[in-house]
């Protein structure tokens, strides 16, 4: 690799990182679906998918092949350009936000960080911005379908996402105040001193913010107990009623990719990112470069999947909210609570600092 | 590299703005405006104003334009219709817009000396962390305009509430 210039190395490694992260995220999406079906089944005393491969492990691949081979139907009355654009926006935005997430400790090869695609100063705002663009996927899909159930579902969903985006953004301000930066790497580093004790959720006393983030994130990703946009007993299937084949699969993947993104953000901001639970106690053991590169990634993945399991657990447990309950919960409870959290956090920081 | 960024997204912004004017259906116009906003955000970023870029995307494309699209969808607005008045607006509007464009570019070009200038992408190559500087400026020297603006927005919100509740 020595005869290559720095720029060539940067270019090659960047393309490699993008491809690897994309493939892993899509695989993660596929297997989160399987995890959800298996866990839900276990919680309801069923088996879940068990026929394809050992423990049903090949089920996601077969599902993907099936939706790929299904007939791609376009109803006659749809607004065609937007009907096709909507799932692309939804999936694209869901996948783009992974690009600023740091997956592991800083591991440089010729100046290129291996475990983060782009280290942006305003990484957190980039994620928020990309998710706010993702709303268009849902909005446009409902309108372009020319179907009243789709339109109602997408209106509900848009209103819900916009409302909860406020609480979500405000809940993160406390963490940003503590870390004094919007750079995700710096936010992670600010929680790395004493393992779990210095995570924002415990040592940082941001558990109120974590609670708000949790609620708002469930609503942002249209998941139970806030899955009103696709309330099947009222709206058939909500905004993706008219979609079939791969276009439906793209919405489906976007939902799970959003879940993964939200779990990544929760991990980075509240659960210490890729740092170990035990802090620096076991630093002396296995102190080789490869182990130092791999263990943080394992921690990160474990935390993300723990958060995903929480998602699924909640889905299996809680019934769906009513729409007016959803709105009053978001505006009258979460938003004031988030603001109170910001004020208290900044007061404490001002007194101590 | 940065010049290419500027050219691509500047062209995208111009194309989006033209498309906004030429489209017959309001939803396509609104979406072109989103494209313009996003391209402007990239241009801000390439000038080193990261926070402004992110705020542009989150506030304008992510919130305000979603509301625009939302309203267009709710009203189910149809295609634009050609009337006598709209033709008159065409014949006056295009020369008027051209005149304003010429006036603005004349002012900018003749006052180039007194305006500050920056290199395209000049700030992009060095790492800038301007959020702290920006907020210090906003909360010390620009505090009064900042607070007055927020009161203005509050007044607008209250006005909307009053209008919405009048029927009761």
Looking up residue B60, the CATH number of its domain turns out to be 1.20.120.1200
Residues B111 and B143 in one domain: no
The three-point CA angle B22-B23-B28 to 5° equals 140
Question: Would you call B73 and A143 a contact, using CB atoms and an 8 Å cutoff?
Answer: yes
Domain range for B69 is 2-126
Question: Would you call A162 and B58 a contact, using CB atoms and an 8 Å cutoff?
Answer: no
> pLDDT tens per residue, chain A (353 residues)?
567 777 788 888 888 888 988 898 888 888 888 888 888 888 888 888 888 878 888 888 888 888 888 887 787 877 788 888 888 988 998 888 888 888 877 777 777 777 778 888 888 888 888 888 888 888 888 888 888 888 888 888 888 888 888 888 888 888 888 888 888 888 888 887 777 777 777 776 788 888 899 888 888 888 778 877 666 666 777 777 778 778 888 888 888 898 899 898 888 888 887 877 777 777 667 777 777 778 888 888 888 989 889 888 888 888 888 888 888 888 889 899 999 989 998 898 888 87
* φ/ψ of residue B150, rounded to 5: -70, -35
Residues B84 and B136 in one domain: no
User: What pLDDT is recorded for position B148?
Assistant: 93
Find how far residue B99's CA is from the centre of its chain: 21
Residues B52 and B79 in one domain: yes
User: What pLDDT is recorded for position B156?
Assistant: 92
Question: How far apart (Å, rounded) are the C-alpha atoms in residues B123 and A323?
Answer: 47
Of A93, A78, A120, A273, the closest CA to residue A191 belongs to A273
Q: How many CB atoms lie within 10 A of CB A200?
A: 23
Collect the ranges in chain B with pLDDT lower than 70: 77, 80, 117-129, 167-168
Q: Nearest chain A Cα to B35, which residue?
A: A133
Question: Would you call A126 and B63 a contact, using CB atoms and an 8 Å cutoff?
Answer: no
Residues B54 and B67 in one domain: yes
Mutation target among B56, B73, B79 for the A interface, most CBs of A within 10 A: B73
The answer to whether the beta carbons of residues A103 and A274 sit under 8 Å apart is yes
Mutation target among B23, B53, B66 for the A interface, most CBs of A within 10 A: B66
Residues B120 and B146 in one domain: no
The answer to whether the beta carbons of residues A229 and A157 sit under 8 Å apart is yes
- Write the DSSP string, A11-38: HHHHHHHHHHHHHHHHHHHHHHHHHHHH
Which pTM was predicted? 0.84
Residues B38 and B76 in one domain: yes
For residue B157, give the H/E element and its range.
Answer: helix B143-165
Q: Nearest chain B Cα to A81, which residue?
A: B28
Residues B34 and B96 in one domain: yes
Residues B6 and B20 in one domain: yes
Contacts with B127 from chain A: Cβ below 8 Å: 121
Number of domains in chain B: 2
Question: Would you call B62 and A165 a contact, using CB atoms and an 8 Å cutoff?
Answer: yes
Instruction: Indicate if ipTM > 0.95.
Output: no
User: What pLDDT is recorded for position A225?
Assistant: 81
The answer to whether the beta carbons of residues A230 and A222 sit under 8 Å apart is yes
In the three-class reduction of DSSP (H, G, I as helix; E, B as strand; rest coil), residue A189 is classed as helix
Q: How many CA atoms lie within 13 A of A237 on its CB side?
A: 10
Q: How many CB atoms lie within 10 A of CB A118?
A: 14
Matching residue, tokens 């995208």 = B12
Residues B103 and B165 in one domain: no
Residues B15 and B79 in one domain: yes
Residues B33 and B116 in one domain: yes
Q: Nearest chain A Cα to B126, which residue?
A: A121
Residues B142 and B64 in one domain: no
Mark which of B111, B126, B141 sits at the end of a domain.
B126
Please indicate if any CB of chain B lies within 8 Å of the CB of A107: no
Q: How many CB atoms lie within 10 A of CB B14?
A: 12
Question: How far apart (Å, rounded) are the C-alpha atoms in residues B44 and B67?
Answer: 23
| Alpha-carbon distance A166 to nearest alpha carbon in chain B (angstroms) | 10
């Amino acid at each position: 690799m020595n005869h290559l210039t720095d720029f060539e190395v940067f270019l090659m490694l960047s393309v490699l990182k993008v491809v690897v992260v994309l493939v892993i995220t899509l695989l993660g999406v596929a297997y989160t679906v399987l995890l959800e079906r298996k866990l839900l089944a276990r919680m309801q005393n069923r088996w879940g998918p068990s026929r394809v491969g050992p423990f049903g492990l090949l089920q996601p691949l077969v599902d993907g092949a099936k939706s790929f081979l299904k007939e791609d139907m376009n109803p006659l009355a749809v607004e065609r350009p937007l009907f096709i654009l909507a799932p692309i926006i939804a999936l694209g935005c869901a996948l783009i936000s992974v690009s600023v997430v740091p997956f592991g400790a800083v591991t440089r090869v010729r100046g290129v960080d291996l475990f983060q695609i782009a280290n942006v100063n305003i990484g957190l705002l980039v994620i928020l911005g990309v998710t706010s663009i993702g709303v268009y996927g849902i909005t446009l899909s409902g309108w372009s379908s020319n179907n009243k159930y789709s339109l109602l579902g997408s209106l509900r969903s848009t209103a819900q996402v916009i409302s909860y985006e406020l609480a979500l953004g405000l809940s993160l301000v406390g963490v940003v105040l503590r870390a004094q930066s919007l750079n995700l790497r710096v936010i992670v580093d600010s929680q790395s001193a004493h393992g779990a004790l210095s995570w924002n959720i415990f040592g940082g006393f941001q558990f109120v913010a974590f609670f708000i983030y949790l609620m708002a994130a469930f609503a942002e990703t249209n998941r139970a107990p806030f899955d009103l946009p696709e309330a099947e007993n009222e709206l058939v299937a909500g905004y993706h009623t008219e979609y079939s084949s791969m276009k439906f699969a793209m919405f489906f993947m976007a939902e799970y990719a959003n879940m993964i993104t939200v779990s990544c953000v929760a991990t980075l901001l509240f659960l210490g990112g890729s740092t170990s639970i035990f802090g620096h106690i076991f630093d002396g053991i296995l102190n080789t470069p490869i182990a130092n590169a791999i263990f943080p990634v394992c921690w990160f993945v474990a935390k993300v999947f723990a958060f995903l399991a929480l998602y699924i657990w909640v889905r299996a447990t809680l019934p769906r909210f009513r729409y007016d309950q959803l709105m009053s919960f978001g505006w009258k409870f979460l938003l004031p609570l988030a603001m109170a959290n910001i004020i208290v956090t900044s007061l404490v920081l001002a007194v101590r600092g | 590299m940065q010049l290419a960024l500027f050219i691509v997204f500047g062209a995208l912004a111009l194309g989006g703005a033209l498309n906004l004017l030429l489209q017959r259906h309001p939803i396509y116009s609104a979406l072109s405006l989103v494209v313009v906003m996003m391209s402007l955000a990239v241009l801000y970023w390439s000038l080193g104003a990261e926070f402004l870029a992110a705020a542009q995307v989150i506030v304008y494309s992510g919130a305000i334009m979603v509301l625009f699209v939302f309203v267009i969808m709710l009203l189910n607005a149809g295609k634009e219709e050609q009337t006598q008045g709209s033709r008159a607006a065409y014949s006056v509007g295009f020369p008027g817009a051209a005149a304003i464009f010429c006036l603005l570019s004349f002012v900018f070009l003749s006052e180039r000396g007194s305006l500050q200038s920056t290199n395209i992408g000049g700030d992009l190559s060095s790492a800038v962390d301007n959020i702290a500087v920006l907020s210090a400026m906003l909360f010390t020297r620009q505090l009064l305009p900042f607070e007055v603006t927020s009161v203005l927005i509050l007044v607008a919100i209250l006005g909307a509430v009053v209008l919405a509740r009048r029927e009761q």
